[in-house]
Amino acid sequence: MSGKTTMEKLVSLAKRRGFIYPGSEFYGGLAGFWDYGPMGVELKRNIENLWWKMFVQSVPNIYGLDAAIIMNQKVWQASGHAEGFSDLMVECKECKKRYRADHIKSDRCLECGGDLGEASLFNMMFETRVGAKQDEDSKTYLRPETAQGIFVNFKNVLDSYSPKMPFGIAQIGKAFRNEISPRDFVFRSREFTQMEIEYFVEEKNWEKEFDNWLLFMREWNEALGLKNVKEIDTPRDNLAHYSKKTIDFEYEFPFGRSELYGLAYRTDYDLKKHMEESGEDLRYRPHEGEPFLPHVIEPTFGLDRTILALLNEHYNENGERGVWLALPYKLAPVKAAVFPLLRNKEELVSKAREIYSSLRKEIPGVAWDDNGNVGKRYRRQDEVGTPFCVTIDFDTLEGEENSKDTVTVRNRDTMKQERVAIDDLVDYLKEKIGI
């Protein structure tokens, strides 16, 4: 990152280039909700795919899950969310603006300067009803976390696969929290995506497994190219009620340092609560020895915060070149863009289309761009982080022996241009991108 990036620049780039749009924008928006555009969808998918490959497909004994967003309300009663998933809220006596008590350092309203009332608890779960009958039994909630869907499916995975200890269950999915004061773009929103693993271990081994997952998470940060990450061992008096040890991975966002990821030792709290409330026996039965209730290591990753961190970390700008995102090649929404040198020369366009079609069959994320001159196309592709631009010019069609049937490939990071034979282009790009 060159210089200090402001949130205003990131929000502007995200909307201008189709990464993230305000939700319900036609109607004035809705605080805490965001829509991902064409570039944002591709970036999200690339992050999810990399996470799934690193933490599920490459780690022994990890099982995938996609649990329902809406579950029986008894799940949330057993987990403690129905009663205790709350933040302290204060309300202005004049304009009625509400704030999270820990986000405001004054006894005056930030909007109108009025007096703030006494702090009160506010449950952040979105309540809803299931079925035609509107009574207490039909009440439930949009899930505020993905973890409980894993815990209530723990026995199903045990019965289906009889996994050996230790093992994990992984899930990527939506979660919802009715934040009192959503803020800082997608950092604190009311609808967001979590990537989580519940890793089940024997109690005697929790410290060793915790340290292993700490290393895995550091490798993840390296894969994303995130340098401004600090690990904070959460003081005992600040731990969540279910946790015996938590390390927060904090990142230096434009608004300050705040939590990006978390690694928690949840003990056997969740499985014990669900076993008590449901009456199901959730103990693990080893081939030898007595049944026991596993303890849990939980690495948790916020996908939206990951995107914000990536945009911030890899945002670059200077007066001459403009803005470019130096995203890791594998994460870039567009891996390569194909240009005809001139859009009004049929022979160039036809050859460029032929090359574009062949690349799309072999490489995910290949784009076509013939709008404006080549310089403007470079700038446009730089802003979405495209690593390579391929230009088909007159030398491609009728150049000298060493340039005919070659194209110009321009590297985003070095800005250097190289002639590459069309027959070698797919292999060249695959090697550079690492696919």
In the predicted model, is pLDDT for residue 12 greater than 50? yes
267 lies in the same domain as 342: no
**Could you tell me the pTM of the whole model?**
0.92
Of the residues 313, 347, 375, which one is the last residue of a structural domain?
Answer: 313
Last residue of a domain, one of 252, 280, 313: 313
pLDDT tens by residue, 278-314: 999 999 999 999 999 999 999 999 999 999 999 999 9
If pLDDT is split at 50, 70 and 90, which confidence band does 161 have? very high
**Do 363 and 228 share a structural domain?**
no
In a domain, 248, yes or no: yes
* Higher pLDDT among residues 29 and 319, named by residue: 29
Same domain, 199 and 244: yes
420: burial class by Cβ within 10 Å (0-12, 13-18, 19+)? middle
Is 126 a residue whose pLDDT tops 70?
yes
Amino acid at 336: A
pLDDT at 402 over 50: yes
Amino acid 243 reads S
With respect to residue 90, please indicate whether it lies within any of the assigned structural domains. no
User: What is the chain's mean pLDDT, rounded?
Assistant: 94
Q: What letter does residue 55 receive in the DSSP assignment? A: I
Q: Averaged over 378-407, what is the pLDDT?
A: 92
Share of the chain above pLDDT 90, in %: 81
Compute CA distances 343 → 32, 347, 352, whole Å: 42, 10, 10
Domain at 295, CATH number = 3.30.930.10
Range(s) of the domain holding residue 54 = 7-70+147-313
420: domain CATH number is 3.40.50.800
Q: 369 with 422, same domain?
A: yes
d(CA 43, CA 175): 19
The total of structural domains in the chain comes to: 2
Tokens of 6: 């402001």
What is the Cα–Cα distance from 385 to 336, expressed in whole angstroms? 10
pLDDT exceeds cutoff 50 at 268: yes
Q: Does the structure show a pLDDT above 80 at 327?
A: yes
Residue 113 confidence class, pLDDT cut points 50, 70, 90: confident
CB 434, CB 46: distance < 8 Å:
no
Residue 412 shares a structural domain with residue 274:
no
Give the 3-state secondary structure of residue 266.
Answer: strand
Residue 74 burial (CB count, 10 A): 14
In a domain, 114, yes or no: no
Task: Give the residue, 383 or 84, on which the prediction is more confident.
Answer: 383
- Contact predicate 419/403, CB 8 Å: yes
Residue at 103 is within a domain: no
8 Å CB contact between 369 and 380: yes
Mean pLDDT calculated for residue range 384-403: 90
Q: Which pLDDT score is estimated for 418?
A: 96
- Can you give the pLDDT at residue 398? 86
pLDDT in tens, 188-215: 999 999 999 999 999 999 999 999 999 9
* Domain shared by 206 and 296, yes or no: yes
3-state secondary structure at position 237: helix
Residue 181 domain-assigned (yes or no): yes
pLDDT for 86: 72
Residue 93: count of CB within 10 angstroms of its CB: 12
- Are residues 282 and 371 located together in one domain of the fold? no
Output the DSSP codes for 57-86. ISSTTEEEE---SEE-HHHHHHHTHHHH-E
300 shares a domain with 156: yes
2 falls in which pLDDT band (50, 70, 90)? very low
Q: Is residue 105 in a domain?
A: no
The whole-angstrom separation of Cα 216 and Cα 220 is 6
Q: Kindly state whether residue 88 falls inside one of the protein's structural domains.
A: no
Higher pLDDT, 6 or 137: 6
Residue 262 inside a domain? The answer is yes
For residue 410, is pLDDT > 50? yes
pLDDT band at 409 (very low <50, low <70, confident <90, very high): very high
Q: Are residues 351 and 274 in the same domain?
A: no
What percentage of the chain's residues is helix, strand, coil (to nearest 5)?
35, 30, 35
Residues 189 and 306 placed together within one structural domain of the fold:
yes
37 and 155 fall within a common domain = yes
Q: Which of the four pLDDT bands, split at 50, 70 and 90, describes residue 1?
A: very low
β-strand partners of 323: 317
**pLDDT at res. 422:** 96
Q: Are residues 279 and 339 in the same domain?
A: no
Q: Are 365 and 386 in contact (CB under 8 A)?
A: no
Q: Assess whether pLDDT exceeds 50 at residue 247.
A: yes
pLDDT band for 333, please (50, 70, 90 cuts).
very high
Residue range 36-93, pLDDT digits in tens:
999 999 999 999 999 999 999 999 999 999 999 999 999 999 998 888 777 788 888 8
- Looking at residue 135, its pLDDT comes to 87
Write the DSSP symbol of residue 259.
E
